[in-house]
Amino acid sequence: MEPTITAYEYSDIKQHVNALVSAYLAVNDRHMRSIIRAETIAYVTPFLPEGAPLTQAFLAGLQPDRLSRKEAAKLLPLLEPAVIPFPQFSTKQLGKLFRKVKKLKQPAWASLNLHELTYLGWNDGGSQKKYLVIPDHERVIGIRGDLAPQTIKGVCAICQTIGNVSLFVSTTKTSGLGTYTRNGNYICRDSAQCNRQLTDPQALQDFLAVVRPQR
């Protein structure tokens, strides 16, 4: 089966399923729970591959009343074969994206779920740098910036969610005359968590438009 669900759509589905579970805990009226369940199923169904066995299994798993968090956690991974995974880049490929970095720290691939990544981000605590690999149409852009050591509660410029954010500062060339501009944005310190919260790629594209290196 050809994967058709994007990572941010998968995050959106998960958030709606988790909201359904929360509603089950808060709503005692059985009829109201059935309405919320029907609304959730109606929302997520268009994202799913039509007629696929995993779609049927997933929707059947949403039917029971009082779906628990444990049951939901087992149900959601059923969709992963239908999710387009983020590509795993080799050391050489990443090196081409960050040509000016002599000793590039590699992301911890083993700890990442590629089905949850709309973009790739990892931190180098030793140099206080953060690296981002962001899709841009048919290619990817490598962004390197300074990451402040302080973490605060705030809204992430990428996922638009309140969480633990740090100031990310990148340097971009503003003209052919050798002038540069430093651009600061508060983004999630934990990029894996940021990806799990990202449901709309527009904010990511807006962020990229500000921080991308100019040719």
State pLDDT tens for residues 14-42.
999 999 999 998 999 999 999 999 999 99
Domain boundary among 82, 112, 139: 82
State pLDDT tens for residues 122-158.
999 888 999 999 999 889 999 999 999 999 999 999 9
User: Number of structural domains, the chain?
Assistant: 2
Number of neighbours of residue 210 by Cβ within 10 angstroms: 13
Residue with tokens 């149409």: 137
Task: Enumerate residues 6+ apart whose C-beta is below 8 A from 138.
Answer: none
Residues 60 and 110 in one domain: no
Indicate the helix (H) or strand (E) that contains 19. helix 7-26
Query: What's the whole-model pTM score?
Result: 0.90
Residue 56 structural domain: 7-82
Residues 44 and 100 in one domain: no
From CA 211, how far away is CA 172, in angstroms rounded?
7
Which token pair is 156? Answer: 């992430």
- Is the C-alpha dihedral spanning 200, 204, 209, 210 positive or negative? positive
Residues 107 and 59 in one domain: no
